[in-house]
Amino acid sequence: MFGREEKVSAIRLTAVQYVVLFIFLLLAYGLWRLQVMASGHYAQLAEQNYVRNVPILAPRGKILDREGRTIVDNYPSFSALLLRDSTRDLKADADAIAAGLHLNPDEVRQRIRRVSSMPQYQPMFLKDDITPDELAFIAAHKNELPELETIMAHRRLYPRNGFMAHLIGYVGEVTEDMLNQPQFELYSPGDVVGVSGVEKQYNSILMGKNGSRRAIVDSHGREVGRLGETPAEPGKQLKLTVDLDLQIAAEQALNGRNGAIVAMNPRTGEILAMVSRPTFDPNDFAVKISRDEWNKLIDDPDHPLLNKAIQAQLAPGSVFKIIMATAGLQEGIAQTMHVNCGGGANFYGRYFKCWVVAEHRTHGVVDISKAIYQSCDVFFYTLAEKLGIDRIAKYATAFGLGQKTGIDLPQEVSGVMPSEEWKIRNFKQKWYAGETISVGIGQGAVATTPIQLARALGAIASGGLLVRPHVINPTDLPANVVPAANTPDQTRVPLDPNNWELITDAMSNVVAPIGTAPSAHLQGIDFAGKTGSAQTISNALKAKLGAGGKKFKDNGWFVGVEPRRDPEIVVCTLLEEGEHGYLAARTAAQVIKAYVEKQRRQPTKIAGAHAGNGKVEIGAVWSDSGGADEDRTNQAGANQAGTNHGDTNHGDTNQTDTNHAGASHKEDHLHAGRFLIDVAHERTPLAVAAPGVH
């Protein structure tokens, strides 16, 4: 049996042959896939064993004022990177890394664990703005800790003391939550993006495109050569409409008090200055703000991170009376109204006081003009009753109240303009006629922002031209940048010329001796406006709180223009707990004065033609709403001190007064004069950059 040859069947032999053939085909396919189909992939993996990509961070674009002066710049800084594409155990090196960079070892391990799911070719930012000794530590431990690398970054350099902080905004490292949002899908961990203000609104313009450097490394991860680099593309510069000199004047005028100032060109919508107080230092965010500092900011009851110019929704007080006057005149009601103010009046079974009773006097018989410059509450209570809430809301809405202005800054609020429909929609309740009375003086449910009031009163003084505020001229933006809002750049609200003149003339008397803010009068400047004070809590609640209610002082408001008709500038001032509108008027007057003085010092062709002797002669005619006695007093003082209505501090004057001795102090007075202006006089230089930047 054992010597007999066994024969293998043909079927089994065929099966074995097919199996062997299949195995060879499978091996051949695998070889083809590795060497042909996936050759690029494996070549890339092989290259990564000795080639490392080190990022080159692009600097953000500078932010300039309207004249090209630097507001926000950059400064060179070094950051520590942890390269994650090496074979080393990074967690094992955490203690040594933390000791050298003055970090918490547990925090380093947590951060390594958090980024473990991300591609290994993406480095991790360990620490920004490292010190010279930390930079030396990394250089001295290249062999022991080859995964440590340094990279130069351009950190933001903001003006000091929170100058312009709310308008500019600040930057921060992109967070994990932000990376999950569609608008940040193209960003990587460690990228620095705008978080608020202009930095956020125009982040796509300011942010450049990062480059990279390809380095050759050995088996230990040490760099032994370079293959080349792709340079970074810096972000584009951004020119604001803000005038740095006017911004400085506005910051100084507010003088640390809580509130806001907005200065705008009502012809174009250009924001010339914007201040909000209290403020914060955006330089704290340029590297990385600590948790304690962040909690201190967000827990502060004065809300330093809030841009009150566009986010503070407060009762406008008597400034709203200009809207009321416009509505009353346009509806043909206020022209013939004469109200006797005895310190208050009854409406719908309730007695409403006029502010004047606090001074133990009354306004007497009041017409629309006197009601504006004396700010008579009783007149506007009566006008509100005659108009009704829906007609008031119609004009207030037409001038932009109760809606966003469309300014190109993030997180603007819309305010509130009540109406019958508004109350039904929000509270499912009927509007009662008695509620309209408080609305007539800018109280009740009305809530506005400073930017809204500046826009609305600027439009009324401009004959009904309502413009969209902006901090960047749309013509300066790239074609691919989407506009900030759908608000039209200009809207014309119908306004009768006679009504326009009546309102603006009455506004000019507000800062005259017969008005509510005579101390804000600017000699030789056609300055007009409206004061306002608004309660922060009701009188009933104040009485209920007793002594505790005294801390809830009224807010002070003022909106002023120059000149009174077709103004070049409108300024809105909010003084939180400022109590009186005339204090806000004084603050606004400082900004107006700074603007006018700068305009007067601009070089002219006439000055250039007479540069030989350094003086030129000009003639001028102007009107002044002040009294005759006051004018003569000012004229006498001017003749001695050289402070006439022109820029005469540096020259001689020859002035003629065309007033009559018996002229009434309520009339406009015409003046004419000739002036010798010293154009060769050396003037005080203007700002060359924002404080702390240059």
DSSP-assigned letters across all residues of 538-575: -HHHHHHHGGGGGGSPPEEEEEEEESSSS-SEEEEEEE
- Count Cβ neighbours within 10 Å for each residue of 628-649 and write b for 16 or more, e otherwise: bebbeebbeebeeeebbbbbbe
Name the burial class of residue 555, with classes exposed (0-12), middle (13-18) and buried (19+) by CB atoms within 10 angstroms of its CB. buried
pLDDT tens-place string over residues 594-646: 999 999 887 655 555 444 556 666 676 666 654 444 433 333 343 433 333 33
Comparing CA positions, the residue from 65, 210, 177 lying closest to residue 687 is: 65
For residues 549 and 653, membership in a common domain is answered with no
Q: How confident is the model at residue 230 (pLDDT cuts 50, 70, 90)?
A: confident
Alpha-carbon distance of 537 to 274, in angstroms, equals 27
Mean pLDDT on 358-364: 93
Quick one: 517 and 660 in the same domain? no
Look at residue 203 and give its three-state secondary structure.
Answer: helix
Kindly report which listed range (80-84, 535-539, 554-558, 591-595) carries the lowest average pLDDT score: 535-539
Residue 134 lies in a domain: yes
Confidence tier at 132 by pLDDT (50, 70, 90):
confident
Q: Is the pLDDT of residue 34 over 80?
A: no
Q: Give the model's confidence band at 650: pLDDT under 50 very low, under 70 low, under 90 confident, else very high.
A: very low
Q: Do residues 69 and 157 share a domain? A: yes
Predicted confidence (pLDDT) at residue 324 exceeds the cutoff of 60: yes
Q: Which of 54, 150, 42 is nearest to 101 (CA)?
A: 150
- Does 594 lie in the same domain as 579? yes
Q: What's the CATH code of the domain at 505?
A: 3.40.710.10
Best mean pLDDT range from 17-31, 163-177, 398-412: 398-412
Last residue in a domain, options 576, 600, 624: 600
17: pLDDT confidence band, cut at 50, 70 and 90? confident
**Is the pLDDT score of 97 beyond 90?**
no
Question: How far is it, in rounded angstroms, from Cα 116 to Cα 104?
Answer: 19
**Do 156 and 179 reside in the same domain of the chain?**
yes
Residue 125 belongs to a domain: yes
Largest interatomic CA distance in the chain: 155
Q: Which residue has the higher pLDDT, 642 or 334?
A: 334
Length of the chain: 694
The predicted model gives 531-538 an average pLDDT of 84
Please give the pLDDT value at position 508.
97
Give the domain CATH number at 172. Answer: 3.90.1310.10
Across 188-192, 258-262, 284-288, least confident range: 188-192
> What is the rounded CA–CA span in Å between residue 591 and residue 249?
6
Over residues 138-166, mean pLDDT: 86
pLDDT at 660 over 50: no
Q: Is residue 2 part of a domain?
A: no
How much is the pLDDT for 434?
94
Q: According to the model, what pLDDT value does residue 44 have?
A: 61
Query: Which SS3 state, helix, strand or coil, does residue 455 take?
Result: helix
User: Residue 93's pLDDT band (boundaries 50, 70, 90)?
Assistant: confident
pLDDT-wise least confident of 60-69, 283-292, 361-370: 283-292
* Mean pLDDT calculated for residue range 451-465: 97
Does 253 or 129 have the greater pLDDT score?
Answer: 253
pLDDT of residue 631: 39
Give pTM, 2 decimals. 0.79
Beta strands in 3-123 (DSSP E): 51-56, 63-64, 70-82
Q: Is residue 684 part of a domain?
A: no
Boundary residue ending a domain (205, 223, 238) = 238
**Co-location of 637 and 514 in the same domain:** no
Nearest of 109, 100, 59 to residue 80 by alpha carbon: 100
Lowest average pLDDT, out of 76-90, 355-369, 650-664, goes to 650-664
pLDDT tens digits along 367-408: 999 999 999 999 999 999 999 999 999 999 999 999 999 999
Same-domain status, 357 and 438:
yes
Average pLDDT, the chain: 83
Q: Look at residue 224 and tell me if it is in a domain.
A: yes
Of 110 and 364, the structure prediction assigns the larger pLDDT to: 364
pLDDT band at 7; cut points 50, 70, 90: low
DSSP 465-488: EEE--BSS-GGGS-TTSPPS-S--
Residues 371 and 472 occupy one common structural domain? yes
Same domain, 648 and 521: no
From 392, 398, 396, 500, select the one nearest 440 (Cα to Cα). Answer: 392
Are both 136 and 34 inside the same structural domain? no
Taking the alpha carbons at both ends of the chain, their separation in whole angstroms is 108
Specify if 154 maps to a domain.
yes
At residue 694, the pLDDT reads: 59
User: How far apart (Å, rounded) are the C-alpha atoms in residues 340 and 564?
Assistant: 28
Domain membership flag for residue 376:
yes
Residue pair 269/469 in contact by the 8 Å Cβ criterion? yes
* Domain of residue 92, residue span: 51-238
User: Within a domain: residue 368?
Assistant: yes
Eight-class DSSP state of 270: B
The percent of residues above 70 in pLDDT, for the chain, comes to 80
Which residue from 242, 214, 218, 244 is spatially nearest to 229, judged by alpha carbons? 214
Window from 20-34, 221-235, 582-596 with minimum mean pLDDT: 221-235
Between β-strands 238-239 and 63-64, what pairing exists: parallel, antiparallel or unpaired? parallel
Over 60: is that where the pLDDT of 665 sits?
Answer: no
- Helix or strand (DSSP H, E) at 153: strand 148-157
Let me know whether 292 and 439 are in one domain: yes
pLDDT value for 275: 97
Are residues 308 and 228 part of one domain? no
Q: What is the 3-state secondary structure (H, E, C) of 385-427?
A: HHHCHHHHHHHHHHCCCCCCCCCCCCCCCCCECCCHHHHHHHH
Percent with pLDDT over 90 in the chain: 50
Domain count, the chain: 4
- Indicate if the alpha-carbon torsion angle 138, 142, 148, 151 is positive or negative: positive
Alpha carbon 361 to its chain centroid, in Å, reads 42
Of 126-135, 192-201, 234-243, 577-586, give the lowest mean pLDDT range.
126-135
Domain finish residue from 571, 600, 629: 600
DSSP-assigned letters across all residues of 211-259: EEEEEEE-TTS-EEEEEEEE--BPPPPEE-S--HHHHHHHHHHHTT-SE
Radius of gyration of the chain (CA): 35
